[in-house]
Amino acid sequence: MSVRSRTWTDAKGKARKVFVADYKDAAGKRHLKTFKRQKDAEAFEKQAAVDVRAGTHVADSQTVTVTVAAETWVARLKQSDLRRSSIEDYERTTRLHIVAFIGALKLNALNVPRLRAFEDELRNAGRSTFTIRRTMLTLGVMLSDAQESGLVAVNAVRDLSRSRKRTGKAQAPAKRRLKIGTDIPTPDEIKALLAVLCDRWKPLIMTAVFSGLRASELRGLRHEDVDFSKETIRVHQRADRYCTIGDTKSVSGERVLPVPPELINTLGEWRLRCPKVDTGKRDADGNPVKVLDLVFPERQGQA
């Protein structure tokens, strides 16, 4: 391995100079990498020597762009048993916040300084702190997949995280109290909303207001999960936006919530007129088999 300078005169008669790192990979194949500064070439040469000995070096010609790596990763996710809604979220984050900004870069170009610049680009484009954090987490998972496939030697997101932990500069989403009237409705606004609701919307909105259930938990709520005597609601399953029933996201997601009598009375009245969920199955007599006793099915009585 060596670093040498290369000088020439361009078409305008101006002298040009670059520094070339000349090295061989583990298979003995020769590679050249050009830098504007000598110290950058020397730093690369030293790191390449370590990576070649460790068998982890990936030459620029053997890697791919961020766009190609993202497409490969998303395609692999679609073949996994990950929830469809989660795959869609990953694909959306990748397309809108990663590929749109750094899709043309080679994976080897991603290092700590470049990722810090990427965060600044996202911030200057109006992305929220939460979105930036989610984007970096997604990029880190994508790079781990690329690293396992031999497309990149290091996971730069992981290096950035370690650097911030050492210096105490880890960036967490800004936390503040939710402001009533700005982030969430005021009590008067909630009362005004509930006063004009009717039919199926009133029990749904009331349950969301008084229990704080997530949208997926509201979709998966069953009548048997409502305890009318104890005035509680048990959360033990969820339904994604495609109406696929599954467990809560975590063990702590399973919980029992006390709710006010007003909501219990409303849910009791709603249960009498709530459409049953038609599973599409039929018994021996040809009658519909209705087993998903959901509190908030679709208008047609589907899950």
CATH of the domain at 191: 1.10.443.10
Mean pLDDT of 102-123: 94
Does residue 43 fall inside a structural domain? yes
Q: Are residues 134 and 212 in the same domain?
A: no
**What are residue 35's DSSP bridge partners?**
19
Each residue's pLDDT tens digit, 30-48 = 878 888 898 888 887 887 7
Does residue 161 fall inside a structural domain? yes
Lookup result for tokens 């305008």: 12
| Residue 110 and residue 66 in contact, taking contact as beta carbons nearer than 8 Å | yes
232: pLDDT confidence band, cut at 50, 70 and 90?
very high
Q: Are residues 96 and 143 in the same domain?
A: yes
Q: Are residues 72 and 89 in the same domain?
A: yes
Does residue 227 fall inside a structural domain? yes
User: Which span out of 135-144, 239-248, 282-291 was modeled with the highest average pLDDT?
Assistant: 135-144
Number of domains making up the chain:
3
Of the residues 13, 35, 57, which one is the last residue of a structural domain? 57
Does residue 244 fall inside a structural domain? yes
Q: Are residues 74 and 53 in the same domain?
A: no
Does residue 292 fall inside a structural domain? no
Each residue's pLDDT tens digit, 266-275 = 999 999 888 7
Q: Are residues 31 and 11 in the same domain?
A: yes
Does residue 91 fall inside a structural domain? yes
Residue 195 CB-half CA count within 13 A: 6
Q: Are residues 82 and 50 in the same domain?
A: no
User: Which span out of 19-33, 135-149, 184-198, 278-292 was modeled with the highest average pLDDT?
Assistant: 135-149
Does residue 211 fall inside a structural domain? yes
Lookup result for tokens 């984007």: 135
| Residue 174 and residue 181 in contact, taking contact as beta carbons nearer than 8 Å | no
Q: Are residues 47 and 120 in the same domain?
A: no
Closest CA to 68 of 146, 122, 159: 146
88: pLDDT confidence band, cut at 50, 70 and 90?
very high
What is the pTM assigned to this prediction? 0.62
Q: Are residues 43 and 105 in the same domain?
A: no
Indicate if the pLDDT at residue 80 is higher than 80: yes
- Whole-number mean pLDDT of the chain? 86
Positive or negative: CA dihedral 212, 215, 217, 223 = positive
Each residue's pLDDT tens digit, 51-69 = 777 666 677 777 899 999 9
- Higher local confidence (pLDDT), 25 or 303: 25
**What are residue 34's DSSP bridge partners?**
20
Q: Are residues 195 and 143 in the same domain?
A: no
Separation in Å, CA 124 to CA 99, 101, 117, 120, 121: 16, 12, 10, 6, 5
To the nearest whole percent, how much of the chain has pLDDT over 70?
90
Separation in Å, CA 80 to CA 90, 92, 140, 217, 235: 13, 17, 18, 24, 27
Of the residues 117, 136, 167, which one is the last residue of a structural domain? 167
Q: Are residues 192 and 227 in the same domain?
A: yes
Q: Are residues 70 and 45 in the same domain?
A: no
The pairing of strands 15-24 and 2-9 is antiparallel
Domain that holds residue 235: 187-273
| Residue 36 and residue 7 in contact, taking contact as beta carbons nearer than 8 Å | no
Does residue 37 fall inside a structural domain? yes
- CATH code for position 140: 1.10.150.130
Q: Are residues 100 and 157 in the same domain?
A: yes
301: pLDDT confidence band, cut at 50, 70 and 90?
very low
Indicate if the pLDDT at residue 148 is higher than 80: yes
289: pLDDT confidence band, cut at 50, 70 and 90?
low
- Higher local confidence (pLDDT), 22 or 204: 204
